[in-house]
Amino acid sequence: MSLSAYTNQLLVRILPQALGLGVGVALKRLAGLEAFGLYSLAIALGSVTFGVASSAIDLHALRSTSARLFYPALKSKLLIWLLLAPLAAFGSLRLGVPLWGGLTIYCGLLLLHLNQLNVVFFRLENTDARAIAPSSLPPLFFLLALLIIGPKSFSAIALLFLAAWSISICFLFKPNFFSGLAASKWSDMTAFIRSSVPLGISIIFTQLLVNVDLFMLNYYYGSAESGLYRLAVSFSAVLMPAIGAFSYVYLSQIGDSAKRGDFPSVESSLKSQLRLNILLGSIFFSGIAILLPYLMPFLYGEDTYAGLPAAILLCAGAVFNALGTVFSYTLLAFNRDFVTIVILAIGSAINIMANALIIPRFGIEGAAWVSLLTQIFVFAANAFIVFRLLKWSTRPSAVHHT
């Protein structure tokens, strides 16, 4: 893998994340915590509905290492988005998100996830540089629109979100796009969806881990408090673009080795990736622990200082998430989807029960502690299973049977 591929993947991840941080600052400063909280709830709702299926499709396509699956993957996303639209509408009503704004965000998320499919297939085609503009221009236009127009309501924010991501349509079309779409068979799409189901189940639990605390905070304290929590989460998310870039490359690299049963090669790649993630996590947490007391009130205002302890705890959780990603992607490469499902199901159950007990009493700081401890559990469980798998598989008897 060339250095330019890593560099391009980093840009694909880091630029949108940096722009997303700018969007969060603009929304808080221009529209206030309540409108920002509603926007965060709508995004979270989309993530636990259509976002789950979309991410499963992306990971299955990446694991397959075949660029020929673009059109079945695209049609799969479109069909699932339509099927889950009523669930998104019902969720908006239950969470107190205005229906019109919630559905507008849901439409924007379709364009966002179709764009993400482009990023995956650029990786498979080793043309990562082509993914930089599609990933960065829509959030850039969203940020500029917020700064120029200065929306005060959630509905206006949702319209700007949809308009900004509409730009991504220009990047979706490939040569012979419509003929390729028409040539893709229904059976190819349904087979692709069936193969993605186990990944989708594991991602459901992942999204519950990430978003159940936000939903509970909104239920007990309102959208302003959930908005403050989302602002705290935004700092922990700074680490993940770099981790995501290297993890995508890592999964695409070890996929063929896992299919061949080349366990020594996988183990070597695993250790290299783990050392890299430990280095990145250490640098991130050291820097964030020093800067966050000054950075959070500077970016979001003095009224957000109450979220500082939660932000630091969530950043610590992000480090364990970064380490756990290496092991969970290794399990995916070996098609151990069921194992990841079980680990995430147990983690989600612990997370939900702990949040139900702790959030009513301790608020966002309690939610952050639960998130940290859950991330530690998921990391430790994934690491234990992977090391057992590699240790058993590299024994002479196991290699002989392989």
Q: In the structure encoding, which two tokens stand for residue 326, read together? A: 């290496």
Quote the Cα angle for 231-237-239, to 5°: 140
The per-residue pLDDT for 6 is 63
**Neighbour count for residue 302 (Cβ, 10 Å):** 9
What are the tens digits of pLDDT across the range 237-291?
777 766 666 666 676 667 667 767 777 777 888 888 888 888 888 898 888 888 8
Mean pLDDT, residues 355-376 taken together: 93
What are the tens digits of pLDDT across the range 322-359?
888 888 888 877 878 788 888 888 988 899 999 999 99
DSSP 128: G
Q: In the structure encoding, which two tokens stand for residue 113, read together? A: 């996830």
The per-residue pLDDT for 27 is 92
pTM over 0.75: no
Q: In the structure encoding, which two tokens stand for residue 48, read together? A: 């636990």
What are the tens digits of pLDDT across the range 171-206?
877 767 767 677 777 777 887 788 787 777 777 777
Task: Give the separation between CA 260 and CA 139, rounded to whole angstroms.
Answer: 40
Of 223, 258, 213, 216, whose CA–CA distance to 367 is shortest? 213
Contact 253, 333 (CB under 8 A): no
Long-range contacts made by residues 166-171, C-beta under 8 angstroms, separation at least 24? 166/108, 166/111, 167/137, 167/138, 167/141, 168/111, 168/112, 168/114, 168/115, 168/134, 168/137, 168/138, 169/111, 171/115, 171/118, 171/133, 171/134
Domain ranges of the chain: 3-397
**Neighbour count for residue 333 (Cβ, 10 Å):** 23
Contact 307, 236 (CB under 8 A): no
